Chain A
Amino acid sequence: MTKTINITLKVWRQFGPDVKGRLETYQAKNISTDMSFLEMLDVINEQLTLEGKDPIAFDHDCREGICGMCGSVVNGRAHGPEKGTTLCQLHMRHFSDGDTVVIEPWRSRAFKIIKDLVVDRSAFDQIIQAGGYVSVNAGGAPDGNAVPISQENAEKAMDAAACIGCGACVASCPNASAMLFVSAKVSQLALLPQGKPEAAERALAMVRKMDDLGFGNCTNETECEADCPKEISIVNIARLNREYLKAGFLSSVI
């Protein structure tokens, strides 16, 4: 049932990458519980605009949980309290009247804050550029059915490929590690015959790039899995470890 609630927001405001930020308090009044979290922020921003203040900057685009653009830490949880949910899919019915909600940006050395809740996640793109692809040019592919792929492997690859690259794994990891992200891509391609020829180079290059960019180390805290909006499993991290060790010790790739 639709109802309205009043909540207190404490939002991280930071004008630029290198300036000091702080939490600002706002009152969100008469918020319909059918609203999404971002629609609630829209309402606040409309108010701020009309009051002549600077609206809260936050990234968002598809608002259906697939583009991976949105994401903030809400009361200490990446994408908020609901399991398997992006911030844009989080609805206000999961909050109660009188709640205080603290909203912070992803925090990691590798993700610089651009403004308020907006962070620079280009590090993820750089990791993919290091090897998250199959080197095929358009035009030369054999028939799609030339190589059968067991349904089980196709499904597992899809489980990993469901990653939306939002960065919640880094945000929720106590060590700001990007292992879940990297492992999802490495796993997807390691599970498919098309990814096999470059598996060794890929695993080594992507892990090295991840390290160079200043992400932390995985200590198997499994917070990433618990907060991942696409519920990517840490089984993928084990697979990445396997692929990495195989490449490091058994392949001829240096």
Chain B
Amino acid sequence: MNWLKNTLGSSVGKKLMMALTGLSFCGFLTVHFAGNLTLFRGKDAFNGYAGHLHSLGSLITFAEFILLSLAAVHVLTGLTLFYQNLSARPKRYMVNKSAGGRTVGSQTMPYTGLLLLAFIIFHIQNFHLADKTHQTIYDIVSNSFAQPEYVIVYILAMIIAAIHVSHGFWSAFQTLGANHPKYMPLIKSVGVVFSLLVGAGFGFIPIYISLIA
């Protein structure tokens, strides 16, 4: 398996891992968002959805394990890249100016990534690991978003997620080598639309809940 270590250990290999895990998270976000839509159909629908998920038993544990592994790979590889990239230029420039290639998303990837990590830990603690014996998941959600600071944190987090995805999406395809004159414009547009959906879609939920709560 030396070849696998060689292949994945290089700069392009690490980027491949970032791309594959990143795209997996895009898939996860889509599913997550679809699930969250049940919120708009009221308390029962949402609790029902959550109940259904939990009834999957070991399957859901397995999925969680996969997600956690993907996250570990994404975060650790990302941090390695971040560190290596910093040390590739020990002495920085006195004057920095973009030639027009960078975007807000591309410049901030490590930082938005770390903020997202912090948010996800908070989010899991807040919702996933919360005590669910005395309250339903819907209660937790509506109690949380009754507090304005929670709403603000969540909205900010979703803006950050949107920024992260705005670069991550097309960048993953580029890393996989899928840059074709016919399809790249489409991939880029889908990336923009997707990041807007992530930002606006997830971001609207706390607002909606806080309004009806």
Partners in one complex: yes
Q: A residues within 8 Å of B by Cβ?
A: 10, 12, 23, 73, 75-78, 102, 104, 107-110, 172, 174-177, 179, 204, 207-208, 210-211, 214-227, 234-235, 237-245, 248-249, 254
Task: Number of B interface residues at 8 Å Cβ cutoff, please give it.
Answer: 44
Q: In chain B between 101 and 120, which residues have their CB closer than 8 angstroms to a CB of chain A?
A: 101-102, 106-107, 109
Contact indicator per residue, chain B 45-70, by CB within 8 Å of chain A (1) or not (0): 00000000000000000000000000
**Contact segment of B30-38, B130-138, B172-180, B193-201:** B172-180
A216 contacts B99, CB within 8 Å? no
* Chain B residue at smallest Cβ distance from A249: B7
27 A-B residue contacts at CB 8 Å?
A: A76-B95, A107-B89, A172-B99, A175-B89, A176-B85, A204-B6, A207-B10, A207-B12, A211-B10, A216-B85, A217-B85, A218-B11, A218-B175, A219-B85, A220-B171, A221-B102, A225-B101, A237-B179, A238-B174, A238-B178, A240-B177, A241-B177, A242-B176, A242-B177, A243-B177, A244-B10, A254-B2
A245-B16, A248-B3, A248-B6 known; A102-B88 Cβ under 8 A = no
Q: Tell me how far the C-beta of A207 lies from the nearest C-beta in chain B, rounded to whole angstroms.
A: 5
* Chain B residue at smallest Cβ distance from A208: B10
Q: Does B97 contact A (CB under 8 A)?
A: yes
CA distance A146 to B208 in the complex (A): 69
Q: In chain B between 60 and 103, which residues have their CB closer than 8 angstroms to a CB of chain A?
A: 81, 84-85, 87-102
Residues of B within 8 A of A226 (CB): 98-101
Q: Tell me how far the C-beta of B24 lies from the nearest C-beta in chain A, rounded to whole angstroms.
A: 17
CA distance A172 to B101 in the complex (A): 10
A174 contacts B107, CB within 8 Å? yes
CA distance A252 to B6 in the complex (A): 13
Cβ-neighbour of B93 out of A10, A104, A110, A245 (below 8 A): A104
CA distance A104 to B93 in the complex (A): 7
